C-alpha cells in the first residue's frame, strides 16, 4: 500500500470517533491555473472522499490569466495556494509572507520550445531572436536564465526581444516568435497538435540547462502557520492531497476523467487531459510532499543571480518549513 494511502487512512481512523460530532473544517485552495490535470491530485482527493476522511471540506478555486495566487491569499481569499517558488519568493520579498509547506512536484516541467528552421541549436543562438515569455510571476525563471547567460532582454543583436506570451503557443505557430515558453505536460503538446513534429523543434528543458526552479508547491502565510488549528487543518490537507496524487499516478485515466468532470468551462478534452496526466505524473513521481531544501536553495541562487535586476535581492529566511509535512506523516 502506498505510504500516503496508509497515512490518510490512519488519519481517518483517528478522526472516526469524533467526525460525526464535528462539522467538517473548511479550507480553501487557490490553484495557479485553470482546471486541468496539472492539479489532478487535489480534484482526486476531493472526488474520492480523501478530504472527507480527514474531516475537511475543501473548496478548490481554479486560477486564470488574471488571477495571482499570492494576491488571493494576501486578500483573504484562500488558506493555501499552488504557486511556483520564484513567484512566491518575489511576493515574500514584497511583503506577502508566503511559506512553502509542501512540494508535491519533485521536478520542473518548464521548457523553451523553438522552431528548428530559425537556426537555434544552443542558448548562444538566442541572441537577436524573439522569445515568448509568460508573465504574471512566471517570467522569473526565464529572466534568471538570461542573466546567467549574460544575454540582455531589451532586444538588439546581442540580446533577445521578449514577447509577452499569452497562455498559448500562437506566437510560435504564427512565426511571431522564434521560441515560446512551454510545459512538458501542456503547451509542448499544443505545438505538436498544431502540426509540428518533434524533428521540427529544438527544446531547451530548464532542468537540463541547470536553471530549473521549484514549481507547483503548496504555500500559506506565516500568520496561518502560527494558528495551531489552521496548522492542523493544513497537515490534514497535505496528507489527503498526497493520497490524491498517489491515486492519480496509479489510475491516470480515471484521474483525468475526474479533472474533466470538474472543468466547468468545458474547454478541456479527454485526449489532452489523459496525456497531461501521464506527463504530470512524471513530475510528482517519488515525491512524498517533503521539500528538497537543496533544490530550494538552487532556486534561490538562480533568482539572486540577476545582475543589476535580480528577482530577489537577498536570501529569504523562513520561506519554507517541514513542520506541516512532518505532522502529516505522523498521522499514520
46-81 residue pLDDT tens: 999 999 999 999 999 999 888 999 999 999 999 999
- For the residues 318-322, what does the mean pLDDT come to? 97
On whether both 79 and 114 belong to a single domain, the answer is no
Q: What is the pLDDT of residue 7?
A: 54
Spatial CA neighbour of 236 closest among 1, 26, 87: 26
On whether both 320 and 218 belong to a single domain, the answer is yes
From residue 153, how far is each of 147, 169, 254 by CA, in Å? 9, 20, 43
Taking the model in full, what pTM does it have?
0.87
Q: Which three cell numbers stand for residue 152?
A: 540582455
Q: How many helices (H) and strands (E) does the chain have?
A: 14, 10
Q: Which three cell numbers stand for residue 197?
A: 513534429
Highest mean pLDDT among 14-23, 133-142, 185-194, 303-312: 185-194
CB 50 within 8 A of CB 243: yes
E-assigned strand segments in 207-323: 217-221
Is residue 317 scored above 50 in pLDDT? yes
Is residue 307 scored above 70 in pLDDT? no
Instruction: State the Cα torsion 167-208-104-139 to the nearest 10°.
Output: -40
Q: Give the separation between CA 245 and CA 222, rounded to whole angstroms.
A: 26
Which CATH number covers residue 80? Answer: 3.40.190.10
On whether both 93 and 119 belong to a single domain, the answer is no
On whether both 321 and 223 belong to a single domain, the answer is yes
Share of the chain above pLDDT 70, in %: 92
On whether both 234 and 324 belong to a single domain, the answer is yes
**Tens of pLDDT, residues 222-269:** 999 999 999 999 999 999 999 999 999 999 999 999 999 999 988 899
**Tens of pLDDT, residues 17-44:** 444 446 899 999 999 999 999 999 999 9
User: Of 205, 237, 260, which residue constitutes the final position of a domain?
Assistant: 205
On whether both 87 and 229 belong to a single domain, the answer is yes
Is residue 327 scored above 80 in pLDDT? yes
On whether both 139 and 255 belong to a single domain, the answer is no
Residue 323 burial class via C-beta count within 10 angstroms: exposed 0-12, middle 13-18, buried 19 and up: middle
Q: What is the pLDDT of residue 21?
A: 45
From residue 289, how far is each of 1, 22, 39, 137, 194 by CA, in Å? 17, 27, 14, 23, 35
Spatial CA neighbour of 311 closest among 138, 180, 68: 138
On whether both 158 and 243 belong to a single domain, the answer is no
Q: Name the β-bridge partners of 59.
A: 28
On whether both 88 and 163 belong to a single domain, the answer is no
How many structural domains is the chain composed of?
2
Q: What is the pLDDT of residue 57?
A: 98
On whether both 183 and 263 belong to a single domain, the answer is no
E-assigned strand segments in the chain: 25-30, 56-61, 80-83, 98-102, 110-115, 130-133, 161-164, 179-183, 201-205, 217-221
User: Of 185, 205, 225, which residue constitutes the final position of a domain?
Assistant: 205
Spatial CA neighbour of 43 closest among 226, 205, 261, 224: 261
CB 217 within 8 A of CB 145: no
On whether both 10 and 52 belong to a single domain, the answer is yes
User: Of 186, 205, 224, which residue constitutes the final position of a domain?
Assistant: 205
Cβ neighbour number for residue 14 with a 10 Å cutoff? 15
On whether both 324 and 230 belong to a single domain, the answer is yes
**Tens of pLDDT, residues 151-178:** 999 999 999 999 999 878 999 999 999 9
- The parent domain of residue 43 ranges over 3-106+214-329
Amino acid at each position: 500500500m502506498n505510504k500516503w494511502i496508509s497515512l490518510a487512512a490512519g488519519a481517518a481512523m483517528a478522526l472516526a470517533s469524533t467526525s460525526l460530532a464535528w462539522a467538517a473544517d473548511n479550507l480553501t485552495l487557490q490553484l495557479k491555473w485553470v482546471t486541468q490535470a496539472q492539479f489532478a491530485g487535489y480534484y482526486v482527493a476531493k472526488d474520492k472522499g480523501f478530504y472527507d476522511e480527514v474531516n475537511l471540506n475543501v473548496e478548490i478555486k481554479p486560477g486564470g490569466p488574471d488571477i495571482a495566487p499570492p494576491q488571493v491569499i494576501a486578500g483573504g481569499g484562500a488558506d493555501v495556494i499552488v504557486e511556483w517558488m520564484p513567484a512566491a519568493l518575489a511576493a515574500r520579498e514584497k511583503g506577502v509572507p508566503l511559506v512553502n509547506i509542501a512540494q508535491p512536484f519533485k521536478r520542473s516541467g518548464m521548457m523553451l520550445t523553438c522552431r528548428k528552421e530559425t537556426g537555434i541549436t544552443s542558448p548562444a543562438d538566442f541572441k537577436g531572436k524573439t522569445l515568448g515569455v509568460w508573465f504574471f510571476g512566471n517570467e522569473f525563471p526565464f529572466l534568471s536564465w538570461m542573466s546567467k547567460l549574460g544575454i540582455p532582454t531589451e532586444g538588439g543583436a546581442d540580446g533577445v526581444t521578449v514577447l509577452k506570451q499569452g497562455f498559448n503557443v500562437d506566437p510560435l505557430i504564427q512565426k511571431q516568435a522564434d521560441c515560446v515558453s512551454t510545459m512538458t505536460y501542456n503547451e509542448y503538446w499544443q505545438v505538436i497538435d498544431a502540426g509540428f513534429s518533434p524533428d521540427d523543434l529544438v527544446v531547451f528543458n530548464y532542468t537540463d540547462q541547470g536553471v530549473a526552479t521549484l514549481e507547483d508547491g503548496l504555500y500559506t502565510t506565516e500568520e496561518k502557520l502560527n494558528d495551531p488549528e489552521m496548522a492542523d487543518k493544513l497537515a490534514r490537507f497535505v496528507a489527503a492531497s498526497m493520497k490524491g496524487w498517489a491515486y492519480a499516478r496509479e489510475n491516470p485515466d480515471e484521474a483525468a476523467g475526474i479533472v474533466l468532470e470538474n472543468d466547468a468551462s468545458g474547454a478541456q478534452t479527454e485526449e489532452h487531459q489523459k496525456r497531461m496526466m501521464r506527463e504530470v505524473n512524471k513530475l510528482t513521481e517519488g515525491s512524498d510532499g517533503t521539500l528538497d531544501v537543496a533544490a530550494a536553495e538552487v532556486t534561490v541562487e538562480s533568482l539572486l543571480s540577476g545582475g543589476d535586476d535580480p528577482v530577489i535581492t537577498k536570501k529569504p529566511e523562513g520561506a519554507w518549513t517541514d513542520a506541516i509535512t512532518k505532522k502529516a506523516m505522523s498521522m499514520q
